[in-house]
Chain A
């Protein structure tokens, strides 16, 4: 029983897969129940979530802060728009999404190679320049990319089998907006499961090592550059995927949609939720989607006009961003986790108060054979006998 519980917990790969399946089921159920407007909102939450999840992995896990993810989203979005120019294009959605990922991965690899050599404010400045530069390209190559007007995106028809399945489950035919929302949420859940597995894998540990201590990471044989580039590429792929979903949801790709504000919005999302946690990225995306409506209503209530009320939301999350950095640098979720860990730590340290903590010794082999087997004993004891035999 305990073993089953352990396997199904989110800390185990099977558990995460199960959580993903449940997540998709819940998302599909919720989207088919809410109204058309809410379904659109949920779609925009999903594409922000996909991009933010990628960014939080890069920033929180690998320590690289990118302000250029809006530009990478633009690349994914324009790829999708070029593949879906009109109703008879007929490119299947999975192909569109994979193509967006492929193109963004290529761009991300180039940017990542450059970014891997930069630190802190230098990296921030360089990616900021990227965010400002890319929309200009869409105007310069106006013949293919539509210039200021942008490209319209025609969402393909809902596949017959899916329409049938949804009709069977809910008794209604899905609209195109709702179809995009389903697709976006399925993609979001898949991305979250993949990234969660990645974060817990050997690769994720390497990225954390690179973030925490470059010299120590190099000493244990981790290639800093390669891991930074890999993290950037994975993160860029998520941004491209988010951008393609955005193009589908908004049905228009124009330079004005990919201003510096979008990139800063993504940073705000991951900071609000908590750097480095996927939950935080989803919470941040939810806040960015639903907070503006609440705040705008509040603004109307205190006598501001519509244009002014629309500015209240960025004001609030900018302010929260400043406060989070000053008061809780780990973000909202991160601070909560840390508080829980500290509490748990206090409890375990109270239990272990009697005997002094055993010190794993590398020099004295007799001591290490005496010590109790602990979680990390294989790594600490194995080298000693091997060294003695050779």
Chain B
């Protein structure tokens, strides 16, 4: 019973982080039809930005804000420098491009920040709350994680639903030609989309790092889990990505708790294959026909 509760709670917390990462992937996929495999090292670099500031004596929150800002700028820069220049008529090209960026960011981080493991602080306690005489696996940082993701998702919903910029961004993703005719600066909107997605990606990077160890490849498994979560939700649906993230977080936590943590990645692969072969549109997606 105790283990069931522990597994569920830690799975839920991780699920929120995967949801954020999946959301970042979905935002980019919707607007540019690219799966940004470089999202993981981009988030890793911004976590290092935070770590450098925190180690220099600034508070956690200054590092946190700086990392999010760095993510926003990095996303915008990457879109402007490379992504808009790729010939996407062959779907292999963008994939290779983001993999190239993956390698570049990886080695850049190892060059600048070193490739040893460094511990990353957490702003809240990492010990579970005590209820009666048992310890519940919900930590202060866990609650912060869940709240932070909820705030980010809520902010994005507000932006896309209720603001003019959000409407223009949705229009650019939905039909760039018509939007351009209607006076929307599509290039700028796509750029903003990449920047916001990278910001959400860095948020998930910071949440994974908090209270743990950071090294240049600490986010690599997360890109796989984020992708699986996004595909679970249909890759096209932000709400699906969030639900997919939660579901995947829970299931991987159960695999890790009851079978062994080495099998988590294999379980993610099994989930991914099952979804792709049985319901290519995602388990929440209602899209009738799409090529996978």
Contacting B95 at CB < 8 Å: which of A65, A117, A322? A65
A133 adjacent to B37 (CB under 8 Å): no
A65 and B35 alpha carbons, distance in the complex (Å): 14
Closest to A128 in B: B224
User: What is the size category of the interface that chain A forms with chain B?
Assistant: 35 or more
Asked whether B104 is an interface residue with its Cβ less than 8 Å from the other chain, the reply is yes
A133 adjacent to B266 (CB under 8 Å): yes
A137 adjacent to B266 (CB under 8 Å): yes
Closest to A121 in B: B35
Contacting A124 at CB < 8 Å: which of B35, B86, B262? B35
A307 and B114 alpha carbons, distance in the complex (Å): 8
Q: Which residues of B contact A312 (CB under 8 A)?
A: 107, 111
Asked whether B277 is an interface residue with its Cβ less than 8 Å from the other chain, the reply is yes
Assuming the contacts A319-B100, A329-B93, asked whether A260 and B273 have C-beta atoms less than 8 A apart, the reply is no
A318 adjacent to B103 (CB under 8 Å): yes
Q: Which residues of B contact A317 (CB under 8 A)?
A: 103
A125 and B271 alpha carbons, distance in the complex (Å): 12
B108 adjacent to A315 (CB under 8 Å): yes
B residues 81-113 touching A (CB-CB < 8 Å): 82, 85-87, 90-97, 99-104, 106-108, 110-111
Contacting A267 at CB < 8 Å: which of B96, B217, B231? B96
B217 adjacent to A65 (CB under 8 Å): no
- Name B's interface SS: helix
Contacting B101 at CB < 8 Å: which of A63, A136, A318? A318
A118 adjacent to B276 (CB under 8 Å): yes
Asked whether A61 is an interface residue with its Cβ less than 8 Å from the other chain, the reply is no
Q: Which residues of A contact B35 (CB under 8 A)?
A: 121, 124-125
A314 adjacent to B107 (CB under 8 Å): yes
B292 adjacent to A122 (CB under 8 Å): yes
B91 adjacent to A119 (CB under 8 Å): yes
A326 and B94 alpha carbons, distance in the complex (Å): 9
Contacting A321 at CB < 8 Å: which of B86, B100, B231? B100
A231 and B224 alpha carbons, distance in the complex (Å): 25
Asked whether B70 is an interface residue with its Cβ less than 8 Å from the other chain, the reply is no
Could you write out 30 A-B pairs with CB less than 8 Å apart? A65-B95, A67-B99, A121-B94, A122-B231, A122-B292, A124-B95, A125-B224, A125-B227, A128-B37, A129-B228, A129-B272, A132-B224, A136-B264, A140-B262, A260-B217, A261-B217, A307-B110, A311-B111, A312-B107, A314-B103, A315-B107, A317-B103, A318-B100, A318-B107, A319-B100, A321-B100, A322-B104, A325-B96, A329-B87, A329-B93
**Extra pairs beyond A140-B262, A312-B107, A314-B106 (14, CB < 8 Å):** A114-B276, A122-B231, A126-B273, A126-B276, A129-B269, A132-B221, A132-B269, A136-B265, A260-B220, A307-B114, A315-B103, A315-B108, A318-B100, A322-B104
